[in-house]
Amino acid sequence: MSKKDKSKFRKRIKAEILKQMAQSQSALTTPTAENIVQKTPASASTLGENLKQEISLPLAPENDPISPIRKDLKKSGLIISCMIIVVASLMILDLKTGLILKASDWLFQIFKIQI
């Protein structure tokens, strides 16, 4: 596909997207005050039912595309906090006993590593 064809293709796609957006926005326009006044008044029960139908979440929790990400972030936060606790406890243990220094010296002797 040449650059000229790609340019035409992109323009056509953009035009289609803009057309779809305009149609969706025209469908979502709010009624004007004149339209509201001209409507006949409804009983309280039908008005409540209409409100229940109109008020709904855009995405149900099971259909929410962000919920798996939130779960992963919670797990990552839990893992990171556990790692911080382990490192902090090792630091305190090393300050009191010098255990890490002794263990590292022991490993250097076993593997015959020289600095």
Alpha-carbon separation of residue 67 from 51, 52, 77 (angstroms): 27, 25, 15
* Domain annotation covers residue 78: yes
Q: State how many domains the chain has.
A: 1
- Two tokens at 58? 């855009």
Q: Is residue 1, in this structure, part of any structural domain at all?
A: no
72-60-74 Cα angle (round to 5): 15
CA 62 – CA 107 distance, rounded (Å): 51
pLDDT class of 65 with cuts at 50, 70, 90: confident
Q: Is residue 114 part of a domain?
A: yes
In a domain, 109, yes or no: yes
Within-domain flag for 113: yes
Domain of residue 113 covers 71-115
Q: Is residue 90 domain-resident?
A: yes
Handedness of CA 90, 96, 100, 101 (dihedral sign): positive
105 inside domain: yes
Residue 32 lies in a domain: no
Mind listing the pLDDT tens digit for each residue in 27-39?
666 555 555 555 5
pLDDT tens per residue, range 1-59: 676 677 788 888 888 888 888 887 776 665 555 555 555 555 555 656 665 555 555 55
The residue written with tokens 């243990």 in the block is 93
